[in-house]
A and B are shown apart, each in its own frame.
Chain A
Amino acid sequence: MTTTPASVVSARDLGLTFETSDGPVNALTGVNLDVDKGDFVSFIGPSGCGKTTFLRVIADLEKPTSGSITVNGTTPEDARQNRSYGYVFQAAALYPWRTIEKNIALPLEIMGYSAADQKARIERTLDLVNLTGFGKKFPWQLSGGMQQRASIARALAFDADLLLMDEPFGALDEIVRDHLNEQLLKLWDRTNKTICFVTHSIPEAVYLSTKIVVMSPRPGRVTDIIESTLPRERPLDIRESPEFLEIASRVREGLRAGHSYDE
């Protein structure tokens, strides 16, 4: 199998085993996956299925122990060195001593953008996540949802075409989450980025994705890859359409098949 040039992430027989005091843990085994440019890929599965680990492998935060993976056609380490992805963590991870705009400036400072360029990018990304006017606030003055939006702005501020998101809305309530999902889709449409999104919510995965990767634990592996047939334009009430429910039920079946309940 050859890697197509449009493939942003390409994993071949990827495996990762953690050596723990209780013996080896197979976090990932035999993962084969291609993420194409412009895709919105969701990784869904119960805890321990390796979805976050896979995202961390892409980000070069973990090293695979077998198989191969390329990011933008290079190794994850080179991709990281080229600053080719932005990472959004489960928590906003804003630095509390920096204002929102200074937090967004953090990667720009590190990557050596000029002061004028930094200012323009801060303004643009604040607008993208609807936080214009909040730049001078400190993180603790913002709600959880706003903090997470600021952390997305921070990941969008520099020129990375790939956005890696690890359960970014997991800690937020349903209403805020719906709102942010809608905004995220618009943002994806406007910026034409490739997004890898980890979640454990079926509706969220189906609503957002062009491709859904269903995973299961012990050992962590991919059990199903579902190409979404939903249109790119998705109002929130698309979640009541038969098409949506059909994909959701396939995801649910995939999860059930991979998950043993006898534990």
Chain B
Amino acid sequence: MEKPNIFKDRIMPVGVILLAVLVIWYVAVVFLNAPYERDTAARAGTEITFSEILPKTMFQQRPVLPAPHQVIAEIWDTTFNKPITSKRSLVYHAWITLSATLLGFGIGTVLGILLAVGIVHNRAMDRSLMPWVIASQTIPILAIAPMIIVVLNAIGISGLLPKALISTYLSFFPIVVGMVKGLRSPEQIQLDLMHTYYASPAQTFWKLRWPSSMPYLFASLKVAIAISLVGAIVGELPTGAVSGLGARLLAGSYYGQTVQIWSALFMAAALAATLVIIVGFAHTAVLKRMGMKP
């Protein structure tokens, strides 16, 4: 068998795609930002050639599409050159969003698991609850997010929790669906074995259903953590744009700061990727401890 080669197997395929994206991006930058330069020149009554336009499209103040190096410079500047307590620091905004994400994800996970346990063990809950769980996800989150913020604000709850609850609203769903399947995954023969031991329902749960459901739980957690972040960002949009990545996006669009929008977007993507990777590591570690075949 061929030896695994990190460069050939991992870095090269990803690198090729990255390069392609960058090329397409730069081409798009030129085409999307060129009309502004032509307009400016026309208004000033001067002629402008394409070779003059080209460099200008790369360094506009408010480009239609900022160039990658502009976004990178903005991220670098707002991440490393600002104190992290400053409202101009991207790290500060990322932390605000991250804290809501993690709280919402935590509540969503616990809620999702509890609902799944109920659904698996109780026929009435299975019949009555599952349709509502599914229906909850058909409501557009953008419509319900402001309602949650407003209602909770009216009863004196504001700040972190309302945003976290929007994350919860999104993230409990994959957990419920995954865990219902996971807790029902033991084979009949494994359940029969427990029956012959006269095991209590609690013993069957902890010694069979729970360990059986672990692969399903982690698959769900990966989806849940990513949409928790989406939930937290959506939750920040109707809060009056004070802080957080969502606020950063909103402020950016109010003032036409496209560079700021794109850098917030990239920060959100990097955050999501990091969170998913962390869950992935936890998944590998747990399965290894459970002696799963490598």
Contacts and interface: CB of A to CB of B under 8 A. Distances in A.
Interface in A190-235: none
Nearest to B291: A138
Contacts of A99: 291
A149 B214 CA distance: 27
A127 interface: no
Contacts of B207: 95, 106, 109-110
A95 B211 contact: yes
A97 B127 CA distance: 32
A140 B294 CA distance: 10
A92 B214 CA distance: 21
Interface stretch (A5-13, A78-86, A241-249): A78-86
A83 B193 CA distance: 12
A53 to B, nearest CB: 13
Contact of B189 (A86, A89, A110): A89
A93 B193 contact: yes
A142 interface: no
B198 A80 contact: yes
A95 B190 contact: yes
Contact of A97 (B199, B203, B292): B292
Secondary structure class of chain B's binding surface, majority of residues: helix
B193 A87 contact: yes
Interface string B187-215: 10110111111110001000110010010
A93 B291 CA distance: 16
A61 interface: yes
A91 interface: yes
Contacts, number: 55
Contacts of A97: 211, 214, 290-292
Interface in B249-294: 290-293
A60 B207 CA distance: 21
B198 A81 contact: yes
A148 to B, nearest CB: 13
Contact of A95 (B195, B198, B199, B208): B208
B218 to A, nearest CB: 14
B182 to A, nearest CB: 13
25 contacts: A60-B195, A61-B195, A80-B195, A80-B196, A81-B198, A83-B197, A83-B198, A85-B196, A87-B193, A89-B193, A93-B187, A93-B189, A93-B190, A93-B193, A96-B291, A97-B214, A97-B290, A97-B291, A97-B292, A110-B197, A110-B198, A110-B207, A111-B197, A138-B291, A138-B293
Interface of A: 59-61, 80-81, 83, 85-87, 89-91, 93, 95-99, 106-107, 109-111, 138, 140
Q: Closest 3 CB pairs between A and B?
A: A97-B290, A138-B291, A87-B196
